Amino acid sequence: MNYRLPLTAALVTLTYGMTLANAVNPVNAQALIPHTIKLNFGNVETQALALARDAAQLAQFQQYDLALSRARLAVQLSPQSYQTQAVLGSIYLRTEEYPKAIASFSNALNLKKDNASIFFSLGAAYLRNTNYQLAIDKLKQGLTLAPKSPTALFDLGNAYFLTKRYDEAIAEFNQVLKLEDKFWAATNNIGLVEYERGNVDIAIKKWEESIAQGETIEDKAAESRLALGIATYIKGDRPKGLRLAEEALKIDVRYGKPEFLKENLWGDKLLADAKTILATPTLKTLVDQSNIPLTKNDPKNTPKKS
């Protein structure tokens, strides 16, 4: 399953207010040139936090090997610091090493039991590792500390969806929209749920709403556009359905791969119908001629949905 940013990059706060999600301003990218690590053993904890901050910044630019080396060293220097454990877990989460992420976040949580962000991050790691009930438990615990976190509510909705608790999933997605009315991924996922329940007309309405929400934040919502095209095609308006699907794939051709759709929580019914329309000559040629790989750490695998 791909991240939704939401599907939750970790937002683990360091003591001086830096988070992994906003660890670096692009204008400061020149500060990320790899350099030799120089340790000052006069204040090991301060040095460890500085390394953790460097690691978080490097991770923002997908320099994961450098980020991991610094984060691991930070943990070695200060293993009792929840911040170093949490940053290491966040990098493991980004690189899809979910068991390691779970271990690091669990260590962080043992050191700091009142930090909602760590609960959310651990829940996200469990979710991506398909430990759905554990994900639900940790996300709900975090929400008792910070009940107005749209990304955590979104992940909780996804966990309910994946366990076929459809009413609860929709309730959580609606809570997200009460907090952020332009969070188009929540509307999109209500459509996914309704399609699986056989409510095609409701799903279509939600995908139309999702596309409109995306346009307000300059996001073309390729996923919703493709889903809308598929539903329209299956209902009988094949020319319109094909046009919408083609528009979606021209925005992001990765959605032409069933495995990518499954990673983005598409259910069995919608996947089956997707395969039907994707087999049409125009769309098949469009996908086959694309050279965009589904790479593990492609930055596009972190949809900006909030």
Decide yes or no: CATH 1.25.40.10 for domain 1-164: yes
Look at residue 292 in the predicted model and tell me its pLDDT: 66
Domain 1-164 shares a fold with domain 181-306: yes
Percent of the chain with pLDDT over 90: 79
Look at residue 17 in the predicted model and tell me its pLDDT: 41
By C-alpha distance, which of 74, 68, 21, 86 is closest to 46? 74
Which residues in 143-160 are b (16+ Cβ under 10 Å) and which e? bebeeebbbbbbbbbbbb
Q: Which residue has the higher pLDDT, 71 or 3?
A: 71
Using one digit for the tens of pLDDT, what is the confidence trace for 143-155? Answer: 999 999 999 999 9
Is pLDDT above 80 for 269? yes
Look at residue 159 in the predicted model and tell me its pLDDT: 98
Superfamily of domain 181-306: Tetratricopeptide repeat domain (1.25.40.10)
pTM (2 d.p.): 0.84
Token duo for residue 216 = 């307000």
Mean pLDDT for 110-137 is 97
d(CA 149, CA 193): 21
Mean pLDDT for 104-133 is 97
Q: Can you give the residue ranges of every domain in the chain?
A: 1-164, 181-306
Q: What value does the mean pLDDT of the chain take?
A: 86
Using one digit for the tens of pLDDT, what is the confidence trace for 226-249? Answer: 999 999 999 999 999 999 999 999
- Total Cβ atoms within 10 A of residue 80: 12
Look at residue 43 in the predicted model and tell me its pLDDT: 86
pLDDT confidence bin for 294, thresholds 50/70/90? low
Look at residue 40 in the predicted model and tell me its pLDDT: 59
Using one digit for the tens of pLDDT, what is the confidence trace for 168-224? Answer: 999 999 999 999 999 999 999 999 999 999 999 999 999 999 999 999 998 999 999
pLDDT confidence bin for 118, thresholds 50/70/90? very high
